[in-house]
Structure formats: C-alpha cells, structure tokens
Amino acid sequence: MGHLSGLTRVLFLHAHPDDETLATGALIAELVAEGADVAVLTATRGERGDVVRGAVAQDRGLGDHRAEERAAALAVLGVRSSAFLGDPPALGAGRPRRRYLDSGMVWVTPEVAGPAPHAGPDALTAAPLVEAAADAAAYLEWFRAQAVVSYDAFGGYGHPDHVACHQIAVAAARRAGVRCLEIVSQPHLASAGPTAQSYDLPHRLPTVRDALTRYASQLTVEGDEVVHVGGQREAIQTSVTLRPVRDGRAR
C-alpha cells in the first residue's frame, strides 16, 4: 500500500470525534482488513461542535456524548486501540492529566474555516506545542506505532484544531522517531507532488457509511452522502492521498 506497505502498527491523529471516519475511515478499515493494528488518537472531544436537533439529551455534555459516538464508530471500523490526547497513556511522563478542548472555528469562506474569536485557555490551539507533542509521543511509544497519519498544514479545510494536529503529529513523530504521513487536503491534490500516494478504496464504502451513522449528533447519512449540521452535503470519502513529512516539511 505505497507509504504504508509493510507497516503493521499505524496511528491516526485526528482533531475531533467523526474526523477519523469522515477523512480516513476507508483507509482505516482497509488497514484493519489487511491485518494491521490501527490506533486512533483524538485531540479533543469536539465540545464546540454544532448539534443535530434532538440528538443529544439536554442533561448530557456534548463532549462525553461525542466520545461515546466515537467508540461506536471505531468498533465498526475495527479499531481496538484509541485514546484522547491528555488521557493516559496519551500523556507525557510526569505530566498531570489534561483535557484539551475544542478550539471552535468560524467560516472565512463557504469552504475555508478560520479561528474562532474566543478559543479559551484550555483549547487545543492554546496549548504549548511541546506539551501536546509530548502527550502524543507518549501514545505513539505506548502503541509502538511505526507511523502516524494526520492532516497537512492546511488541515483539510483550515480548521484551527486540524492545523494544530498537523503540528503536533510532526513534532511527536520526530520525538518518538517514527514516520509521519500527512493527508493531502482536497484543494492541494493537484500540486501534491511526486511523493503523494493515493488510496482509492470504494469497496470500503459500506463500512464507512455504517460507521458514520454512529455520529447522529453531527451528521445525517443519506445514501452515499453525508449532510452536516450546517446543511453542507458531501459524498462519503473512500479515497485518501498521503505524502511523507520529514523535518516539518512535505517530501
């Protein structure tokens, strides 16, 4: 499988519950089917996400609800190892347990997101990179990962938490001494370069669709499409393009 050939332990670092399935669900399911051990590390619980009307009880915290949705989706994808950044074993040695919060976002254009005006002191984007990377590296080492997969510097569509995860993944991979692969954002596919490797996995569509139905607070599955809370409609993704990152730069 190109950059993933011969790897048996691969870790995916994502920003919020549902990102792992929306962006890389097909690739995760494919790796699991081929016998690889896949782990998912999620940076936040998506506390600031919009919610489908009536999907979450009024007395439930959204972050805890989304964590339960993530557990159900990962079970469908076949993932047996997962953690939230700041929870052991995704916690640097000697550091107090920490809950990184969703930083929020605003739409700068209909397709590109930017930072929310008030992220808060406990937001992922407010955390010192060295601390967040130490927590991520601890999980890489605990899982004995051979590679970490996360976003590129654009973060898919510019979400500040996605961008932060790119920075954390690069720093953590360097610290743990493992390979780092970035998910090339859709607007940058045409200029991805010769090291980019595309994985087209349409046969994993039923599995990804099933996993996405577990995220009823965030989206609605209609046939082979998802409809997000804000009404945005997109095809369920079954293709992923990866390229290696070395010394903080795509190669």
Tokens representing residue 14 in the block: 């994502």
What b/e sequence results for 119-155 when a residue is b if at least 16 CB atoms lie within 10 Å of its CB, and e otherwise?
beeebbbebeeeebbbbbbbbbbbbebbbbbbbbbbb
Taking every pair of Cα atoms in the chain, the longest distance, rounded to a whole number of angstroms, is 51
For residue 92, name the pLDDT band (cuts at 50, 70, 90): very high
Instruction: Determine contact, residues 15/47, Cβ cutoff 8 Å.
Output: no
Query: What residues contact residue 160 under an 8 Å CB cut-off, 6+ apart?
Result: 103, 104, 105, 113, 114, 115, 116, 119, 125
Query: In the predicted model, what is the mean pLDDT of residues 9-38?
Result: 98
**What CATH number does the domain located at 2-250 have?**
3.40.50.10320
Is the pLDDT at 53 greater than 90? The verdict is no
Residue-wise pLDDT for 68-87, tens only, equals 999 999 999 999 999 999 99
Among the listed residues 235, 244, 239, the one whose alpha carbon sits nearest the alpha carbon of residue 182 = 244
pLDDT at 45 (0 to 100): 97
For 13, left (φ over 0), alpha (ψ -120 to 50), or beta?
beta
Provide Rg for the chain, Cα atoms: 17
Question: What's the pLDDT tens digit per position in 115-155?
Answer: 998 889 999 999 999 999 999 999 999 999 999 999 999 99
Cα–Cα distances (Å) from 180 to 65, 148, 150, 243, in that order, read 30, 5, 8, 9
pLDDT attached to residue 70 = 98
Say what the pLDDT of residue 210 is.
98
Q: Are 28 and 201 in contact (CB under 8 A)?
A: no
pLDDT value of residue 129: 98
Average model confidence (pLDDT) across the chain: 95
Categorize the per-residue pLDDT at 67 as very low, low, confident or very high, splitting at 50, 70 and 90. Answer: very high
pLDDT of residue 10: 98
C-alpha triplet 82, 84, 87: angle, nearest 5°: 110
Domain ranges of the chain: 2-250
Predicted pLDDT of residue 251: 61
pLDDT tens per residue across span 170-213: 999 999 999 999 999 999 999 999 999 999 999 999 999 999 99
In this model, does residue 55 exceed pLDDT 90? no
pLDDT at 1: 79
